[in-house]
Amino acid sequence: MKNEENKISRRKVIGGIGAGIATLAVTPLIGNAGAPANQKLGYDMEDPRVKFPKPPFKEQSQPWPGLASQMNPRPDHGETSYRGSGRLKGRKALITGGDSGMGRAAAIAYAREGADVAINYLPAEEADAKEVIALIKKEGRKALAIPGDLRDENFCKKLITEAVAGLGGLDILVNNAGRQQTRPSILDISSDDFDATMKTNVYAPFWLTKAALPHLKAGSSIIATTSVQATDPSPDLFDYAQTKAANTSFVRSLAKQLGSKGIRVNGVAPGPIWTALQVSGGATMEKLVNFGGDTPLERPGQPAELASIYVQLAANDASYATGQIYGSAGGGGQP
C-alpha cells in the first residue's frame, strides 16, 4: 500500500513538472523579440528615438541670450522627471548658465540629490532663473540667484565670493555658461563678437576657477561643459568651436595639475541639445527646423538627458574619473 502511494506521489510530481514545462513552451518569455514595445517589466523601458520631440520644428527666433520658457517645444530639464537619491547630500555647488539648458538640468538634479545650489545667469534671463530657484527651494535646499556678466573679471571674482558666503562653502564648480552665434564666414565675425565669445567661454572659466581654487578641498569637483564641436566643428561655428576645444584642453590639463590636491576635473560634451542657444542666434533657421534630425536617434537631445552625467561627475563614487570628457550626442560626434 505504501509503495502504491509513493508511485502516485511520483506521478503527481512528474506530471506537475511536465505541465510547468508545457506552460513555458506556450508562454512568451519576457523580453522576447515579439513582446510589445515599451512593455513594463517592473521598470519602464523607453525607446530613445521617440522619448522626446523630433524635427521638423517650428521656425522661431529670440534675441540673445534667449529664454527656454519661450521656446516651442519647451525644453525638458527634468523638472518633473528627475528623481534624486541623496548622492550629493550636503554638497555646495555653483553653476554658471544655471537658468536654462544643461546648467538648469544640473541645478535641478543637484538639488534633488541633496546639494545647495547657486546659479549665475544674465539679467535678461531672470524669468527662467526664477523658475530654477523655486525648484531648488522646493527640495528644501538653499538656493542662490547671482545674476551678472561673466565677461567681466571683477564680476567673476565677486560671483565666487558671494557663492561661498551664501552657501557656506563651495565644493562643486560647473563652468557651463556659453555663447554661440552662427556666422557663415570668418569674414562675418567682428572683433567684438569674437571677443564676447572668447570671454564668455574661455576667459570666464579661467577667472572663476582661479577665484574658486582657494575654497576647494580634496574631494571637490570642477566640471566644464564642452561640446562635440571641439573635435568635429561646424563651418558656421568657427569661433565657438575653438572655445570648446579650449574647454576640452582646460579639463585635461587642469586635471593633471589638481590631481595631487584631490580635486577632480571633468567635462561634458553635448551634441545637438534643444536649448535657448539654438533659437537666439546659435543656429541658422534651416538647421533649427531640422535640429538633431541627422543623428542616429533622429532627434535632438534634451537637457534632462544629461543631468545624470553632471551628477555622476560630482559624486563621490566617481572618484577615479578625472581628466575625462563624457559625450552625449545621440550616436553622433565625439568623444
Active site residue ranges? 240
CA distance 93 to 142: 10
CA distance 182 to 192: 14
CA distance 52 to 211: 39
Amino acid symbol at 272: P
Instruction: Return the number of other C-beta atoms located less than 10 Å from residue 69's C-beta.
Output: 15
Q: Quick check: helix, strand or coil at residue 144?
A: strand
Residues in the chain: 335
Phi/psi at 96 (nearest 5 deg)? -85, 150
Instruction: Return the number of other C-beta atoms located less than 10 Å from residue 282's C-beta.
Output: 22
CA distance 37 to 272: 26
Phi/psi at 175 (nearest 5 deg)? -85, 90
Query: With contact defined as beta carbons under 8 Å apart, do 160 and 213 qualify?
Result: no
Q: How far is CA 56 from the centre of its chain?
A: 23
For CA atoms 108, 112, 113, 117, the dihedral sign is positive
Please report which helix (H) or strand (E) contains residue 93, including its range.
Answer: strand 92-96
Q: What does the DSSP 8-state code read for residue 235?
A: G
Q: How far is CA 13 from the centre of its chain?
A: 56
